[in-house]
A and B are shown apart, each in its own frame.
Chain A
Amino acid sequence: MFTPHTDSEREAMLRTIGAGSIEDLFIDIPAAYRFPKLNLPPVLSEMEALAEAEDLAGANESARDLICFLGAGAYNHYVPAAVDALIRRGEFATSYTPYQPEVSQGTLQAIFEFQSLVAALTGMEVSNASHYDGATSAAEAAVMAYHHFREKRTRFVLSQAVHPQFRQVVRTYMQGYAGLEFTGDEPTVDPLATPDSLTKLIDSNTALVMVQYPDFLGRIFDLTALASAVHAAGSLLCVAINPTALALLKTPGEYGADIVVGEGQPLGIPLSFGGPYLGLFATRKELVRKISGRIVGESVDGQGRRGYVLTLTAREQHIRREKATSNICTNQGLMALAACIYLSLLGKKGLRQVADLCYQNAHYAAAQIAAIPGFKVYSDAPFFHEFVVCCPQPVEEINTHLLDHEILGGYDLGQAYPSLKDHMLVAVTEMNSRQDIDYLVEALKEVAHD
């Protein structure tokens, strides 16, 4: 065990704070919970422990065992074997903090490449070295907008069609600031409303307007009119994206987005029961000083050779201390590396091919499902690889039925949107063959007949 303090140092510290012993520091925890008796089974040998762990793991049904039509923010894509092989290399897997550029050029260069790829994909000028997940990035966008307007603008307009968990995390992050107002996603708002319906909520007190593209329901909207309304009020526009979709779509940068955030999981990161994932965060150069987290820059060493270093670090907490506007001092290094390798392997053409397959498969699936009596597919707006299906039965029941057929059904939208009870969000990727889709359609037909 690493014990940095001697007994006498500990005593001196306890004296200083007026505590009698280390145990005294925990008196706020009720005695019964302080050292509870743990009801543990008898000790196992390594061989027995492994067998038990494998039994437990075998009880899980993952997206690898099932045909997966579940998305809603995390997507089942093919991860080329090279991604895992490369990120597991000791030089990458074990390195953490690239504060010393003289010993961290590999890690720093990988982060720099990652930032360049994210900037290119989103059409933005700068990207940071990543955050923990997409929801964290969304929250950091709100924090950044708040500080950008020197805490003077207090209204945040959030579209109903931004991922419900992103919106929750934004609120959690901002709860320490007094007098803020979040609007646009009240339960009374129609979740199928378009981004332009937010325009009437934007005023001169609005710091940030956040929309998703494609939105949580899979739909794609032109953001031109919204962007001009946001900018006319002097506010910032944040667009939450799906990186795969951007291989096909006009970039948020071209729409004039000020901040782009997103969940980077689709870029070579397995579903893994919910994490670790990857937060993407990009913005305009003008706002670079306000970005939270790390940024890697390219420079030259004393002999004029190209090198990479953490840059603009004076924004960060370890220098700015209590004046920092974010508590984030790190990035999601290994996952950013995975995304960097994935994008480099696929290239511009490969990513476009993945996106195109997702689009074509999803549109095939939507057409087939729409033809089943009792099912209705919402088709009032273009969509990417996810779409809303109105079902003749509760989604939970349908999904139980599908699971019997080894199919992981879509997301039950009624969980997040009461008005969308009996509505399923179906995601289709390059992993779903035509055969898989036909099989799903057959299984759904059984539901309709029940």
Chain B
Amino acid sequence: MQVLANLKYSSTDEWVKMDGNVATIGITDYAQSQLSDIVYVEIKVSEGEKIEKNSPLATLESVKAAADVNAPIGGKVVAANDGLGQTPEMVNSDPFGAAWMVKLEISNPAELDSLMDAAAYEKYCEGRGH
């Protein structure tokens, strides 16, 4: 299982990468391995939309489950990776890179404090039987 050191993580397996006040969000390597082969990605938000923490950003379908991706922090959508719908397998092969889902201009940086760092997330995943 891959965990990148410079990211923040949520307990529902989203990652957040900060660049200035813009947060890029995707799902973790752990999450993609649990879901198995992703066959469908639908980004549910569009540019300009204001998103609250925990509201749905995307829906994923794998060969055995469907899952929502929720916003680990709130903010305004500045980019949505709609192209991912055409290449859902990228979520499996490059969860931290090409399979980013949404970029948010964050509204409340304090929300970042509730997220885990890489070490805490790794430990959290191990605690779930991996």
Residues on A facing B (Cβ under 8 Å) = 150, 289, 314-315, 319-320, 323
Of the candidates A150, A314, A323, which one forms a contact with B39 in the assembled complex, judged by CB atoms under 8 Å apart? A314
Q: Does B66 contact A (CB under 8 A)?
A: yes
* Interface class of chain A by DSSP: helix
* Contact, CB under 8 Å: B44 / A150: yes
Give Cα distance in the complex from A150 to B40, angstroms. Answer: 17
* Contact, CB under 8 Å: B63 / A314: yes
What are the 3 A-B residue pairs with the smallest beta carbon separation, nearest first? A314-B61, A320-B66, A314-B66
> Chain B, 55-79, contact with A by CB distance < 8 Å: what is the 0/1 string?
0000101111110100000000000
| B: number of interface residues (CB 8 Å) | 12
Give Cα distance in the complex from A70 to B100, angstroms. Answer: 59
* Contact, CB under 8 Å: B64 / A319: yes
Given A289-B40, A289-B61, 5 extra CB contacts under 8 A: A150-B44, A314-B39, A314-B61, A319-B66, A323-B68
B1 to chain A, nearest CB (A): 24
Name B93-111 residues within 8 Å CB distance of A: none
A329 to chain B, nearest CB (A): 14
* Contact, CB under 8 Å: A319 / B68: no
Chain B residues near A319 (CB, 8 Å)? 64-66
**Can you give 17 A-B contacts (C-beta < 8 A)?**
A150-B44, A289-B40, A289-B42, A289-B61, A314-B39, A314-B61, A314-B62, A314-B64, A314-B65, A314-B66, A315-B61, A315-B66, A319-B65, A320-B66, A323-B59, A323-B66, A323-B68
Chain B residues near A314 (CB, 8 Å)? 39-40, 61-66
Chain B residues near A323 (CB, 8 Å)? 59, 66, 68
B84 to chain A, nearest CB (A): 14
Chain A residues near B66 (CB, 8 Å)? 314-315, 319-320, 323
Q: Which A residue sits closest to B63, measured CB to CB? A: A314
Chain A residues near B44 (CB, 8 Å)? 150
Give Cα distance in the complex from A289 to B44, angstroms. Answer: 14
Q: Which B residue sits closest to A314, measured CB to CB? A: B61
> Which interface residue of B39, B42, B61, B64 has the most chain A CB atoms within 10 A?
B61
Chain B residues near A289 (CB, 8 Å)? 40, 42, 61
Chain B residues near A150 (CB, 8 Å)? 44
Chain A residues near B59 (CB, 8 Å)? 323
Q: Which A residue sits closest to B44, measured CB to CB? A: A150
B82 to chain A, nearest CB (A): 13
> Chain B, 23-43, contact with A by CB distance < 8 Å: what is the 0/1 string?
000000000000000011010
Give Cα distance in the complex from A314 to B36, angstroms. Answer: 13
Q: Which A residue sits closest to B64, measured CB to CB? A: A319
Give Cα distance in the complex from A323 to B66, angstroms. Answer: 8
Chain A residues near B64 (CB, 8 Å)? 314, 319
